[in-house]
Amino acid sequence: MKKFLKYFIQGLILFIPLIITLAVLMKLFDFFEGLFAFVGFSTNALLNTALGLIVTVGFIAILGILASSFVFKQFFSFIEDKLEHAPFIRHIYSPVKDFTNAFMGNKKRFNKPVLVLTNPNANIEEIGFVTGEDLTHLNIKDKVAVYIPMSYSLSGRLIIVPTANIKPLEADASDVMKFTVSGGVSDVDSDTQQ
């Protein structure tokens, strides 16, 4: 039963992002297909479906082209700057953006997995990721910021610990994150440093 649960959770970890991606694509496809049917471009349902599929693929490709262009980057930076300075919205947009960038894209932040001694009396250690090594801007010395992710969740907590209480893990950061978020069910290829 334990092995089945392990495979089931690994399947969920792979399946959920795929399903979310497919759901977004299907909604986009339904929008374009419905648009052609509403406008009355064609009375043939098969033609409307084919046109909806072609326009969906084209729309996504055009977004990809625009995302890599200088003009779009400048436009997006302008919009992003306005969102980050708007009252109330900035308190939602900025943390969500930072959190997303920490997991994906070119600015991955969770790339230094560590074991953190969180309870010295019971010798309890937790897996975390160093997110800040220089905390002098907060007048904190000889300590680091460590993000501790929660299992089966995208939430976690930030702790500030002495550098003596952390041990680097000799493993791929994404494998360690998968292992932590899956509650220890997922395997990590590399051994941890003792």
Maximum pairwise Cα distance, the chain: 74
Whether residue 192 lies inside any domain: the answer is no
Instruction: Check whether 115 has a pLDDT greater than 70.
Output: yes
Residues 122 and 155 in one domain: yes
- The mean pLDDT value for 126-149 works out to 90
Residues 36 and 123 in one domain: no
Kindly state the percentage of the chain with pLDDT values over 70.
69
Reported as a pLDDT band with limits 50, 70 and 90, residue 194 is: very low
Q: Rounded to two decimals, what is the model's pTM?
A: 0.49
* Domain hosting residue 160, numbered range: 113-181
- In the predicted model, what is the mean pLDDT of the chain? 77
- The mean pLDDT value for 118-134 works out to 90
Residues 118 and 150 in one domain: yes
- The mean pLDDT value for 40-53 works out to 72
pLDDT at 126: 93
Helices (H), 40-145: 45-67, 70-85, 89-103
Task: Give the dihedral sign, CA 160/162/163/169.
Answer: negative
Render the burial of 78-107: b for 16+ CB within 10 Å, e for the rest.
Answer: eeeeeeeeeeeeeeebeeeeeeeebeeeee
Whether residue 189 lies inside any domain: the answer is no
Residues 141 and 90 in one domain: no
- The mean pLDDT value for 133-155 works out to 86
Quote the number of domains for the chain.
2
Q: What is the pLDDT of residues 5-19, one digit of tens each?
A: 666 666 655 566 667
pLDDT at 192: 42
Residues 6 and 98 in one domain: yes
